[in-house]
Chains A and B, each alone.
Chain A
Amino acid sequence: MQPGHRSKAKLSLAIPQPATATERREPAIQVSNLSIVFDTERGQLIAVDRVSFDVPHGEFVCIVGPSGCGKSTVLNTIAGLEVPFEGEILVEGLPVHRPRPDVGMVFQQPHLFPWKSVRRNIAHGPRMLGKSAQQANAIADDLIAMVGLKRFADAYPNTLSGGMQQRVAIARALANQPRVLLMDEPFGALDAQTRAVMQDNLLELRDRIKATIVFVTHDIDEAIVLADRVLIMSAGPGRILRQLNVDLPRPRSNAILLEPTYLALKKDCLDVIRAEGLRAFRQSDET
């Protein structure tokens, strides 16, 4: 078998098998009645209050909301990094108790291992799951090509720009071929131009990997450009205010930012957020 042929076969593994009829009925992620409570110095703080939503297989969902609304907390709980106070989370039908290799995560900061080259950062996951160094490197090299960093395969993270580091982080999260990819404001720390490029890259990448994606952001434009569906969250305590379906044609790019349908959607979002902001403001005024 040719090396090129083999790597292609491996890539196809990243695409989840076509869902069977029973699987299709069962969503990739089920969040039911999720509440999260933090112990603070001033007593208990309800960060997330009875949040429920489903994400079907292959969907791209964005959760938007002001900072501190608990959207990252919801994501961390789906990842198994935080424990719910109440409620249940099922990923691929199985309850989440701890991080699972079929769930990948990209954080706001790249959090690359500074002592590992780009290739070895990406190969880390497969290595940990018991793949040989050769297999893991082959997976890494495929992903490096996919995120366009071929020239930097042997570079170390501290020599890369912020955007490139985040591309490595995305590739690293994809290396374990997760069915679900969680992204916590991954482009939040990047400048506007880089962010736009990264969004386009992610959309291209998404068409190839076909994973279910939950993407948290506070940027409404980003949410609408990327998502099939937008969940708008309120702050203190975190609740889901509204769901909006984004029926914009794909493949999309940043260019849709000026289309009338896009602007109408954005207006809907802003109206919800403004009403909620006013309510929160009055509430804080009263107490």
Chain B
Amino acid sequence: MVPDTALKPDEGGERARERADAGRLQRLNILIGALSVPLFVLLWELVARSGIVNIVLFPPPSVVAVAIFEWMRSGQFFLDLTASLYRVTTGFMIGAALGIFLGIMTGQFPIVSSLLSPLFHILRPIPPIAFVPIVILWFGLSETGKLFLVVWGVFFTVWLSTHIGVQKVDRGLIRAALMLGTPRRQMLQEIILLGALPYIVVGLRTAVSISFYTLVAAELAGTFAGIVYRIEIAQQNLQTGQVMGGLAALGLISFAADRMFAALAERTVWWR
């Protein structure tokens, strides 16, 4: 009994201390997290200005900021942004629609799958960038060629995840729906499509980043406006600040797109 009671206050103090320590550690982590980017920018500024590196090739963030400001003020940024976003979103929509449609067809109907799956599996591993030369031959520098590349990149990812999703729909749900007299069309619309949705959404999210990769290839292939196009032009003029500004813009846009899509996905398949 005696050692028991003797232990208690000590133990309580220990716990309180541990809790306080854990709280302090958490606050410290948040603080360090908030400092991560500013510290990096500061270090970058110092290194760029110190003279160890060539300031033309490695401009400090202040120069990059000025370049971005100029880019925006001239109105060119807005044109570049809309051109790039148009390509990404249109290409994504077309590729995703095709991918979902054909994924349901191959997932649901063995005949369609026998016909198309071998072909798709051969074409799928070819990196979309490898198609740039032939796209230029086919479409020249037109928008169609750009869209083709993005659609190509998005399609296979979405097709494969939809195909797998349809095949993985819980057989029990299908049997239950059959017993309730669900006709073929409703089965496809209600049970198969919604049952496969978690897989489809994962495919679509992967396709968001793929559409940005292919955008880079598409715009490097030659165009007249676009974020990546602006980066290339700036590189040719040795405007390194502008190059880095373009990279930052591209990073921010694809980050925002991914985050938005993740939030949307969570709401779409909320029952998961």
Contacts and interface: CB of A to CB of B under 8 A. Distances in A.
Interface in B150-202: 170, 172-173, 175-183, 186, 190-191, 194
A169 B194 CA distance: 19
Nearest to B173: A111
User: Which applies to chain B's interface (DSSP): helix, strand, loop or mixed?
Assistant: helix
A158 to B, nearest CB: 6
Nearest to B191: A113
Nearest to B176: A111
Nearest to A125: B180
A107 B180 CA distance: 13
B271 interface: yes
A115 interface: yes
Q: Which secondary structure characterizes the binding site on chain A?
A: loop
B180 A81 contact: no
Given A113-B191, A115-B271, A172 B180 contact: yes
A176 B175 contact: no
Contact of A99 (B173, B179, B194): B179
A109 B170 CA distance: 11
Interface residues of A, number: 27
A124 interface: yes
Given A107-B172, A111-B170, A158-B271, A81 B182 contact: no
Given A111-B170, A113-B173, A113-B191, A105 B271 contact: no
Contacts of B180: 101, 124-125, 128, 172-173, 175-176
Given A99-B179, A101-B180, A129-B181, A111 B186 contact: no
B177 A124 contact: yes
Given A111-B170, A114-B271, A158-B271, A128 B181 contact: yes
| Most chain B CB inside 10 Å of its own CB: which residue of A104, A105, A124, A173 | A124
Contact of A107 (B176, B181, B190): B176
A107 B172 CA distance: 8
Contacts, number: 56
Interface in A90-121: 99-101, 103-105, 107, 109, 111-115
Interface in B70-93: none
23 contacts: A79-B179, A81-B179, A99-B179, A100-B181, A103-B179, A104-B179, A107-B172, A107-B175, A109-B172, A111-B175, A111-B176, A112-B176, A114-B271, A115-B194, A124-B177, A124-B180, A124-B182, A125-B181, A128-B181, A156-B271, A169-B176, A172-B176, A173-B179
Interface in B35-79: none
Contacts of A157: 271
Contact of B175 (A81, A101, A103, A114): A81
A153 B43 CA distance: 59
Contacts of B271: 114-115, 156-158
A257 B161 CA distance: 52
B179 to A, nearest CB: 4
B176 to A, nearest CB: 4
Contacts of B175: 81, 105, 107, 111
Nearest to A182: B179
A235 to B, nearest CB: 24
A69 to B, nearest CB: 21
Nearest to B178: A99
A233 B177 CA distance: 29
Interface in B190-223: 190-191, 194
Interface in A183-223: none
Contact of B186 (A99, A107, A128): A128
B179 A105 contact: yes
A119 B173 CA distance: 17
A99 B181 contact: yes
